[in-house]
Structure 1
Amino acid sequence: MSAAAGGVTLWVAQVTTNGLQGWIQNNIVPLILLGIAIILLWIGGRGDNAGVARRSVGLIIGLVALGIAVSGTGPQVGSFLASLITG
């Protein structure tokens, strides 16, 4: 996008967070998932299977929320959940 001001052409850059979002999705999220898997394997290796099961339920809920946030389908999911209540 350019604008002429007194014979001088100025270029205005479009600033977005797409690069940062992509970097987080490609680098940080897999590291977090790897860390979660290592912790669960460590807990399971101690023989605390009930502890792994308890933590896994919370992690699954958290991963579903992360998936909704990353995919951008929050409004559609909200509408669907509201339709379950209202009919």
Structure 2
Amino acid sequence: MLAQDLNTRGLQGWIQDNVIPLVLLGIAIILLWIGGRGDNAGVARRSVGLIVGLIALGIAVSGNGPQIGTFLAKLITG
């Protein structure tokens, strides 16, 4: 096998198929547990951080980082 044949598509596919749904399930259970104790402000605070983290994970996994960065830069520069 040559070094040019190496890629991460298999690992990337496995992560998308297995790890991400399990992480999302774990996050949902934790948020429901915290909400059940009556700490709604804590759930809201953690949810915002989780959403930002999931967006970053989605950008990293999709491989569209440069296009998204260009789009965001055009929003600022016009």
Q: Which has the higher contact order (CA 8 A, sep 6+)?
A: 2
What is the aligned length?
Answer: 76
Q: Which runs of 5+ in 1 are unaligned?
A: 1-11
Pairing partner for 1:60 from 51, 59, 64: 51
For 1:42-57, list aligned pairs within 5 A: 42-57=33-48
**TM-fit CA distance, 1:86:** 1.4
Q: Which has the larger radius of gyration?
A: 1
- Which amino acid counterpart does residue 12 of structure 2 have in structure 1? Q
**TM-fit CA distance, 1:66:** 1.1
User: If the length of structure 2 is used for normalisation, what is the TM-score?
Assistant: 0.88
Whose helix fraction is larger, Structure 1's or Structure 2's? Answer: 2
Q: Distance in 2 between matches of 1:32 and 1:64?
A: 14
Whose strand fraction is larger, Structure 1's or Structure 2's? Answer: 1
User: If the length of structure 1 is used for normalisation, what is the TM-score?
Assistant: 0.80
SS in 1 for 2:6: coil
Query: Could you say what the CA RMSD is over the residues aligned between the two structures, in angstroms?
Result: 1.2
